[in-house]
């Protein structure tokens, strides 16, 4: 339910209504806007009827949210949300470019890759310390040690850093080192992890699962937001189809869908989306052109030596060229880089 | 097989070799280039061994084509091909915009839609006279009468026209009225139709089937080109996946694949690719950004009255706005509109 | 629309009503049943309202058919249809086993394979004379010559024969030689071909397209039946998915869907459905267990020499073993072999 | 690597070699067979070369395992494994039938459903206490309380019980109450959970993810087995495709693939696989016919009141009829029920 307050409503009115929502067992949500305050009530909507909020003097209107997802829907929050990572406003008119290796492989290698990211003009550093790998015999990441390395390089270069979290027990550690969480495609419906992240405060980049519909992705985001963490960023990274010429099929129309249905920022990962180095830059350009708020791109100072995903990692010169191409498209896309 | 002639080779040398290729039961192909002539031999490559062409004095080198498609591959023809529709060079630095209704519904309606296409600055008119419809009870198109209407409007407005052909028996009629054939997704592997079009001379826009891999599409194009019609243009129009928020999943990375693997021009159809009017323009912008040579877009002067596909047809003002947005992206994409 | 006549209605009543349906531009359909006659009217249902058939004294009830397919739906024809090929009643309690090579490769090879089919106790012979092949450089079939060979072997062994038709222009020739048409997956939505087959009289085995939903398949069947040929048999042969361990993903639940939604018989092709020889027999057994009316199975007297599809063709001894396994399952499935 | 010992090798030989494998950092695996002992060494195979085991007097042969999965492959363990749940030998010639509601909803409801399972002749009880639900607003399961209820009913009726585990932190609790773990499709690649289950001792039923290939499923199983828990049972439960007439597409050919590639038992879940009550029994029959070792089927004493998945739950009489139909097929399938 959306409870739209009158322009004349006071903060005390809002607080009182939020309390009543909470008292009847629903989750209250406060969405302050520039013109008026909008409140949300998440959960079994039948309970709300008993409150008769539509007759409260501070309430202008009570609307049902038709979509199965509520807090993340544009119905509830018509203005686009901006989520801040480091000091970068993701979802604003600034286009967000994140670069870095698939995995943190050590201090020196990460520093080399991160310098490329920084000097190219990108805005944040990515790198996995906990790696979900298809095979138990593949490199599984450096763990906590990797988080420390990531923090150190991030600080040295003043680049906020993003890293994957794969397990409830790691949420606290990851939050203490990184500037934003990433939830990978394989964990998009790990609901316990989502719930735990809903109780954290740092931003969460939530990647679409390989078999997840756009609606499934929004429902997964709802798990996080409904627990209280509104700093969620969605990420299209390709779905599984019959086509074998690319690792996945990057579904850019999902960007259009997500921007229409939700107020959350939307990123695109053309590296996992295609799995082929030479398709990454054109698909990053397509992403800015169709309305994405940023891209997550793998780059490695020496891809042939990468512990994982070398074939899709841009070479340093390619990463720099990609940033320049994105700059060329930014103006037409109404974006600043 | 690719037979690369020496710079010094004469036309007589080329003719003699083509004759020998033909004599041993293979299809000869002549691909004149700016620097040297390249010949192709299509068919059972073992037969070619007996000719010992590598020792012919006019021959510099004989290479195998590794891909299963030959004549359409970049291995055989490294420069991008330009295919002319009307007088528009598709595949050049000019970005090709085709607009028009799903179906030809009569002279007046088509004229109204075509005027929008023309005045917006688009380059060609589309409209189906033979409509392959899922249901036998749906409108099946105006047939020959529709072709005549299309030709008339096309001439009135000096817009070349493109229309679908669905059956071998119609190839001659369609060729006499239209400036280019379109083969729809459902007929992409109608090999008899492809073979018949290979004997025609007008350009063929070949749409990817809903379950066709990029390789399947190139093999289908090979059917046409190997019969002698080199004027083939490929078109990505969405594939079938589990995602239900769009009619199909537009696979823009197929554009990257096709441009890498083949020398043929590549268009994108964001109308069928998404099936949702408001996603068409952003996906058209994504298409120009990722390297497509043009777009095919449905527009109707009054979509709510369209006999078919109204939900994905742009309104006149939207079509005009889309052309303007494409113009804004053209420069960054290295294109002229 | 379904027009259910009273038990007392005469043939003259039925004829008169059929005439009126026809006169208003709809296709009339007569479905004689054991208890009462049911008439159908296919086309724009609004036209039927003007006839006020519900008040005709011979009419008991007029019902709308809710499904988009009409003549093929169980709503219109609640009893299962039996379609006769040669003298085999497909769709009855007898389970129909068709065997034979992918392609007719000559008189002697076909005879060898056909003898295995016959001696194993299977009921019909398959073999393609017109082969739709992904590559223009692959064997395209023997054409009319192949049809003659098929007919000859069919007659020698008293096995009815089934062969693919790929083009309107061949319908007459195929009908003159074969006992049933097969429409392949790639032509399932070749609507002109379907319409032409609707005017033929021999049975049509219609295979599901690789990206076709069950509803699409029923709509394609409707094209044939609505033209007058009610002898249609549906065939599940696998759909395209991300799974690479099999050539296609055989969707046996489609058998359940088709049997529920339609009265037409349903076959399964486990050869194309899996593409792997050792999976063919278990999937044929699964087919009889889940309610299919028969199987189409590729067998070749010497698969390693087959011109096409050798990897999925059963060896003679395997084919014989499969028939025996099917016999073991028949009783539990309520079938006779 | 597989190290095949000579028939004359002693237990001391085996122990010594296992120690050496372990000493060089690989995971040792002992697979005692009826004729000779086979040892496995999991991990970086290059390390094994340094041991020169092929020249050890007790060793007959050292073979590489070509598949990316090792411990679960038939290459390493050619005989089919039997995994015991309660006292039922899953993977033997006895066909395993598990029934029960989607979720544990309380003591009385579970008891009612369980009695149907028992009296029908099925072998184990299923029911979820921790429910992974697409929406945060749906019933999430009774948690630990549900585990207690499940244990109580299981004991009352002497039916072993199986329940889902969704989080590392719950592994111990679930193991203390249930007879077997189930890992759901959404957690198939929750590698931390798999690793934790690899350290448990009770059997694990691992369901295929909605976008997981057969190879992905085997790699996920490898995570569990390589940690030491060899009691893994695989389960096909449908994959995501474009087909909308069923909830998922049940891929029965995956049963054939899994039985060929792996020695682990394979179950089928036709309830989630189809999502439609009336398709469950025919697909269960298809499962036994194509070689599955058992089925997991949802049944509820009153589906219209079920908290979840009511539409796919069999009514009590339907469950009983399904068991009877499976019995009719068992003999032909070489199974005992």
CATH number at residue C24: 3.30.70.1140
- With an 8 Å Cβ cutoff, is A10 touching chain C? no
Please tell me the predicted confidence (pLDDT) of residue A320: 97
From A42, A68, A211, residue closest to D211, measured CB to CB: A211
Q: Identify which of B32-41, B53-62, B218-227 has the greatest average pLDDT.
A: B218-227
Within-domain flag for C55: yes
pLDDT band of D138, cuts 50, 70, 90:
confident
Q: Where are the alpha helices (DSSP H) in B24-82?
A: 45-49
E-state strands within chain B: 2-5, 27-32, 37-42, 59-63, 83-85, 88-90, 96-100, 124-126, 161-164, 180-183, 204-207, 232-236, 266-268, 294-298
B183 with B288, same domain? yes
**pLDDT above 70 for D232:** yes
**Mean pLDDT per 10-residue segment, chain C (337 residues):** 86 89 84 76 76 86 86 91 97 98 95 97 96 88 96 98 97 97 97 97 98 97 94 98 97 98 98 96 98 97 84 94 97 96
**pLDDT above 90 for A214:** yes
Decide if D266 contacts D258 (C-beta within 8 A). Answer: yes
Domain boundary pick from D63, D95, D110:
D63
Within-domain flag for C73: no
Please tell me the predicted confidence (pLDDT) of residue B34: 67
pLDDT band of D284, cuts 50, 70, 90:
very high
Q: Which residue has the higher pLDDT, A6 or B155?
A: B155
Q: Are B135 and C216 within 8 A, CB to CB?
A: no
pLDDT band of D262, cuts 50, 70, 90:
very high
Q: Are C244 and A244 within 8 A, CB to CB?
A: yes
CA angle D140, D143, D146 (to 5 degrees): 110
From D214, D260, D276, residue closest to C243, measured CB to CB: D214
Measured distance CA(D307)–CA(D321) in Å, rounded: 24
Please tell me the predicted confidence (pLDDT) of residue A55: 85
**pLDDT above 80 for D312:** yes
CA angle B206, B207, B212 (to 5 degrees): 115
Please tell me the predicted confidence (pLDDT) of residue C308: 82
The answer for D 277-306 residues in CB contact with A (under 8 A) is none
C187 with C55, same domain? no
Please tell me the predicted confidence (pLDDT) of residue C137: 84
Q: What is the pLDDT of residues C97-130, one digit of tens each?
A: 999 999 999 999 999 999 999 999 999 999 999 9
A184 with A272, same domain? yes
A135 with A172, same domain? yes
Mean predicted lDDT score pLDDT of chain A: 93
pLDDT band of D34, cuts 50, 70, 90:
low
Q: What is the pLDDT of residues A27-82, one digit of tens each?
A: 888 776 667 788 888 877 777 777 788 888 889 888 888 888 999 999 888 899 99
Measured distance CA(C256)–CA(C267) in Å, rounded: 11
Within-domain flag for D288: yes
φ and ψ at residue D73, rounded to 5 degrees: -85, 155
Structural domain including B125 reads 83-332
**pLDDT above 80 for B179:** yes
**pLDDT above 90 for A26:** no
Please tell me the predicted confidence (pLDDT) of residue B206: 98
Helix (H, G, I), strand (E, B) or coil at C177: helix
Domain boundary pick from A29, A63, A97:
A63
B94 with B175, same domain? yes
> Which long-range contacts link D211-215 to residues 24+ away (Cβ below 8 Å)?
D211/A209, D211/A210, D211/A211, D211/A239, D211/A240, D211/C242, D211/D239, D211/D240, D212/D185, D212/D188, D212/D239, D213/C242, D213/C243, D213/C244, D213/C245, D214/C243, D214/C245, D214/D254, D214/D257, D214/D258, D214/D261, D215/C245, D215/D68, D215/D69
Structure tokens at D268: 């089928």
Q: Closest by alpha carbon to D269, among D278, D258, D280, D261?
A: D280
Q: Closest by alpha carbon to D301, among D113, D106, D115, D127?
A: D113
φ and ψ at residue D187, rounded to 5 degrees: -105, 10
C167 with C283, same domain? yes
- Whole-number Cα distances in Å, D166 to A167, D163, D205: 11, 10, 13
pTM over cut 0.95: no
Decide if A100 contacts A122 (C-beta within 8 A). Answer: no
DSSP-assigned letters across all residues of D107-138: HHHHHHHHHHHHHHT--EEE-BSS---SSTTS
Q: What is the pLDDT of residues A88-118, one digit of tens each?
A: 999 999 999 999 999 999 999 999 999 999 9
* Buried b or exposed e, range D93-110, using 16+ CB within 10 angstroms: ebbbbbbbbbbbbebebb
Within-domain flag for C74: no
Decide if B290 contacts B252 (C-beta within 8 A). Answer: yes
Inter-chain CB pairs, B–C, below 8 Å:
78
Inter-chain CB pairs, A–B, below 8 Å:
127
Mean predicted lDDT score pLDDT of chain B: 93
A6 with A115, same domain? no
Please tell me the predicted confidence (pLDDT) of residue A34: 67
A43 with A133, same domain? no
Least Cα separation, residue C52 to chain D (angstroms): 35
Within-domain flag for A46: yes
Within-domain flag for D8: yes
Within-domain flag for C295: yes
Within-domain flag for A321: yes
φ and ψ at residue C40, rounded to 5 degrees: -125, 155
pLDDT band of B23, cuts 50, 70, 90:
confident
From D213, D243, D273, residue closest to C242, measured CB to CB: D213
- With an 8 Å Cβ cutoff, is D46 touching chain B? no
D19 with D119, same domain? no
Please tell me the predicted confidence (pLDDT) of residue C34: 67
Sign of CA dihedral D243, D245, D246, D247: positive
φ and ψ at residue A161, rounded to 5 degrees: -125, 150
> A336: which strand partners?
A94
C146 with C9, same domain? no
Q: Are C257 and D239 within 8 A, CB to CB?
A: no
C48 with C115, same domain? no
Mean predicted lDDT score pLDDT of chain C: 93
Number of structural domains found in chain A: 2
Best of C252, C271, C283, C295 to disrupt the D interface by mutation (most D CBs within 10 Å)?
Answer: C252
φ and ψ at residue A237, rounded to 5 degrees: -140, 20
D176 with D55, same domain? no
Please tell me the predicted confidence (pLDDT) of residue C77: 87
Instruction: Say how far residue B84 (Cα) sits from the centre of its chain.
Output: 11
**pLDDT above 80 for D44:** no
The CATH code of the domain that includes C263 is 3.20.20.70
Chains touching chain D, criterion 3+ CB pairs below 8 Å: A, B, C
Residue of C nearest to A239 (CA): C242
Q: Closest by alpha carbon to A148, among A177, A184, A112, A181?
A: A177
From D278, D290, D333, residue closest to C283, measured CB to CB: D290
Q: Closest by alpha carbon to D287, among D271, D311, D262, D270?
A: D270
**pLDDT above 70 for A16:** yes
Strand (E) or helix (H) holding C163: strand C161-164
Please tell me the predicted confidence (pLDDT) of residue C76: 86
Please tell me the predicted confidence (pLDDT) of residue C171: 97
Cβ neighbours of B238 in D, within 8 Å: none
């Amino acid at each position: 339910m959306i409870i739209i307050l009158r322009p004349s409503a006071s903060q005390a009115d809002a607080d009182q209504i939020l309390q009543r929502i909470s008292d009847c067992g629903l989750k209250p949500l406060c969405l302050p806007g520039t013109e008026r305050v909008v409140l949300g009530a998440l959960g079994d909507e039948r309970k709300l009827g008993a409150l008769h909020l539509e007759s409260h003097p501070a309430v202008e209107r009570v609307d049902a949210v038709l979509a199965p997802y509520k807090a993340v829907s544009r119905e509830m929050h018509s203005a686009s949300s901006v989520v801040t990572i480091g000091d970068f406003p993701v979802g604003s008119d600034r286009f967000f470019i994140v670069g870095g290796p698939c995995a943190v492989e050590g201090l020196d290698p990460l520093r080399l890759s991160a310098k490329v990211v920084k000097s190219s003009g990108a805005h944040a550093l990515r790198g996995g310390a906990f790696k979900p790998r298809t095979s138990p015999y593949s490199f599984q990441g450096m763990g906590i040690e990797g988080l420390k390395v990531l923090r150190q390089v991030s600080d040295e270069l003043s680049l906020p850093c993003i890293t994957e979290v794969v397990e409830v027990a790691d949420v606290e550690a990851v939050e203490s080192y990184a500037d934003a969480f990433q939830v990978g495609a394989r964990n998009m419906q790990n609901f316990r992890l989502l719930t735990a992240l809903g109780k954290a405060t740092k931003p969460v980049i939530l990647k679409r699962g390989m078999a997840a519909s756009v609606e499934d992705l929004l429902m997964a985001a709802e798990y996080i937001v409904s627990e209280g963490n509104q700093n969620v960023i969605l990420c299209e990274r390709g779905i599984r189809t019959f086509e074998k010429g690319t690792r996945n099929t990057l579904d850019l129309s999902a960007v259009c869908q997500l921007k229409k249905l939700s107020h959350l920022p939307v990123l695109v990962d053309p590296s996992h989306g295609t799995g082929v180095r030479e398709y990454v830059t054109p698909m990053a350009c397509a992403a800015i052109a169709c309305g994405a708020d940023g891209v997550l791109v793998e780059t490695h100072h020496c891809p042939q030596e990468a512990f994982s995903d070398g074939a899709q990692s841009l070479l340093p010169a390619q990463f720099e060229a990609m940033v320049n191409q994105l700059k060329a498209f930014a103006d037409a896309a109404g974006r600043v880089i």
